[in-house]
């Protein structure tokens, strides 16, 4: 008799669905297991206005398989030209659930992001007033700062001063990767953090030892083992301030396996089995639902999903597809490097 685990259908509070042929290929992968997802706006060009977010939402819905029960929760990409009134209107209509801060140059398609936080203060003050969360890509881009220190330096030099200036601003520290991130997320009010599937599994040795593994390269880059263990403790604790945001970020293989490879791990296909493995390993299967289906919805003020997802443990290892084929090219599915004995029951 196989082990069964039934959860409220999970939410992915940080997801890249892209557009066009890639969207068509990856949207069904998330819709299969997830109820909702916070959709990242770093398209080319980025999703900056409420009108653009509404059009993107329509394209996502059109890419879903017939009968899919998957709700995209839209975000806007913060720029130094963002109009506080447009954000307020998009939030009031219910369309937009958060605004994303990309420090300019921090990651994929972030060149239109924010260089000078002072320029977006009126937007952030408006967001605090209306309770609209700010999702932060929490890395400084200063060339002098070592890439492995960028998150900790962001917390000290950007996030903490911002929160002291606007304590009412609701902030989600996206895809935290350090023990400093774990600690800061628990340090005050109006604060939460997403944690990805791959950062619960990878440390920096996995990327670099025995040859460079481009499919393990993402941003923020995976850190030392002690940081991965801090993330595992946080995710499996049940603490309401930590929740799943996969940051599943598809790039075609030709751009990952490249002299200047793109950042991103594509985990939409197998995230829930991988998380069941991780939580079982840490003796925390009873807290998986909090991480994937309760904490994020509660932070965003959403009703808990009423649908259910059932995971089952198998005797033989589960074989996940190695790649997803998109019209733009193949996308490699994240391979954790160990045998997984959990699958989602169809």
When asked if residue 11 is in the footprint of Zn ion (CB under 5 A), the reply is: no
How crowded is residue 114: how many other Cβ atoms within 10 Å of its Cβ? 22
Among 29, 30, 1, 27, smallest CA distance to 13 is for 30
Residue 269 site contact among ligand DOR, Zn ion, none (CB < 5 to 8 Å, cut-off depends on kind): none
Q: By C-beta, is 139 or 247 nearer to Zn ion?
A: 247
Distances (CA, A) of 122 to 101, 127, 303: 14, 9, 30
Q: Which residue has the tokens 């260089």?
A: 115
Q: By C-beta, is 151 or 239 nearer to ligand DOR?
A: 151
When asked if residue 219 is in the footprint of ligand DOR (CB under 6 A), the reply is: yes
Residue 339 burial by Cβ neighbours in a 10 Å radius (0-12, 13-18, 19+): exposed
Residue 218 near residue 264, CB atoms below 8 Å: yes
Residue 218 site contact among ligand DOR, Zn ion, none (CB < 5 to 8 Å, cut-off depends on kind): ligand DOR
Q: Which one among 52, 79, 108, 177 touches ligand DOR, defined by CB under 6 A?
A: 108
The pairing of strands 134-136 and 171-173 is: parallel
Residue 219 site contact among Zn ion, ligand DOR, none (CB < 5 to 8 Å, cut-off depends on kind): ligand DOR
Q: Which one among 23, 31, 64, 218 touches ligand DOR, defined by CB under 6 A?
A: 218
Report the alpha-carbon distance of residue 233 to residue 183 in Å, rounded: 11
Q: By C-beta, is 102 or 342 nearer to ligand DOR?
A: 102
When asked if residue 12 is in the footprint of Zn ion (CB under 5 A), the reply is: no
Q: By C-beta, is 311 or 331 nearer to ligand DOR?
A: 331
Q: Which one among 8, 97, 137, 179 touches ligand DOR, defined by CB under 6 A?
A: 137
How crowded is residue 205: how many other Cβ atoms within 10 Å of its Cβ? 13
Residue 263 site contact among Zn ion, ligand DOR, none (CB < 5 to 8 Å, cut-off depends on kind): ligand DOR
Q: Which one among 12, 71, 247, 289 touches Zn ion, defined by CB under 5 A?
A: 247
When asked if residue 107 is in the footprint of ligand DOR (CB under 6 A), the reply is: yes
CB 267 to Zn ion: min, Å:
11
CB 222 to ligand DOR: min, Å:
10
Report the alpha-carbon distance of residue 120 to residue 87 in Å, rounded: 12
> What is the sign, positive or negative, of the torsion defined by CA atoms of 292, 294, 300, 302?
positive
With CB under 6 A as the rule, give the number of residues binding ligand DOR: 11
CB within 8 Å of 146: residues ≥ 6 apart:
none
The pairing of strands 242-244 and 191-195 is: parallel
CB 196 to Zn ion: min, Å:
8
Report the alpha-carbon distance of residue 166 to residue 319 in Å, rounded: 48
When asked if residue 294 is in the footprint of ligand DOR (CB under 6 A), the reply is: no
83 a catalytic residue: no
When asked if residue 150 is in the footprint of ligand DOR (CB under 6 A), the reply is: no
CB within 8 Å of 58: residues ≥ 6 apart:
none
Residue 264 site contact among Zn ion, ligand DOR, none (CB < 5 to 8 Å, cut-off depends on kind): ligand DOR
CB 83 to ligand DOR: min, Å:
24
Residues paired with residue 72 on neighbouring β-strands, in sequence order:
37
Residue 200 near residue 232, CB atoms below 8 Å: yes
When asked if residue 196 is in the footprint of ligand DOR (CB under 6 A), the reply is: no
Restricted to residues 240-269, the positions that interact with ligand DOR (CB under 6 A) are 247, 249, 263-264
Catalytically annotated residue among 146, 247, 253, 315? 247
Q: Which residue has the tokens 């799943």?
A: 244
Q: By C-beta, is 151 or 289 nearer to ligand DOR?
A: 151
Report the alpha-carbon distance of residue 307 to residue 287 in Å, rounded: 18
Residue 100 near residue 133, CB atoms below 8 Å: no
Helix, strand, or coil (residue 16): coil
Residues engaged in binding Zn ion (CB under 5 A)? 247
- List, by residue number, the catalytic residues: 247
**What residue ranges bind ligand DOR (CB under 6 A)?**
16, 42, 107-108, 137, 218-219, 247, 249, 263-264
């Amino acid at each position: 008799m196989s082990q069964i685990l039934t959860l409220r259908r999970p939410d992915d509070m940080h997801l890249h669905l892209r557009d066009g042929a890639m969207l068509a290929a990856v949207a069904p992968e998330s819709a299969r297991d997830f109820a909702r997802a916070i959709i990242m706006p770093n398209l080319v060009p980025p999703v900056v206005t409420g009108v653009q977010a509404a059009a993107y939402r329509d394209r996502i819905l059109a890419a879903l398989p017939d009968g899919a029960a998957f709700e995209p929760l839209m975000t806007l990409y913060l720029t130094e030209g963002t109009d506080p009134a447009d954000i307020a209107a998009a939030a009031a209509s219910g369309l937009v659930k958060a605004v994303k801060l990309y420090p300019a140059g921090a990651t994929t398609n972030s060149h239109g992001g924010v260089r000078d936080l002072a320029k977006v203060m009126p937007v952030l003050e408006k967001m605090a007033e209306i309770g609209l969360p700010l999702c932060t890509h929490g890395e400084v881009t200063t060339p002098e700062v070592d890439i492995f220190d960028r998150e900790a330096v962001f917390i000290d030099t950007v996030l903490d001063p911002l929160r002291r200036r606007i304590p009412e601003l609701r902030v989600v520290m996206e895809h935290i990767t350090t023990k400093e991130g774990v600690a800061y997320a628990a340090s005050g009010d109006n604060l939460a953090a997403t944690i990805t599937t791959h950062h619960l599994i990878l440390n920096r040795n996995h990327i670099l030892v025995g040859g460079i593994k481009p499919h393990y390269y993402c941003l923020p880059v995976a850190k030392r083992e002690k940081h991965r263990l801090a993330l595992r403790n946080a995710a499996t604790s049940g603490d309401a301030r930590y929740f799943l945001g996969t940051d599943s970020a598809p790039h075609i293989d030709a751009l990952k396996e490249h002299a200047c490879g793109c950042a991103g791990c594509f985990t939409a296909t197998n995230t829930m089995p991988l998380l069941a493995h991780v939580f079982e390993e840490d003796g925390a299967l009873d807290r998986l639902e909090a991480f994937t289906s309760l904490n994020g919805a509660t932070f965003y003020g959403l009703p808990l999903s009423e649908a259910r997802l059932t995971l089952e443990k198998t005797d033989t290892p589960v074989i996940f597809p190695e790649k997803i084929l998109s019209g733009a090219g193949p996308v490699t599915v994240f391979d954790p490097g160990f045998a997984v004995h959990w699958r989602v029951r169809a």
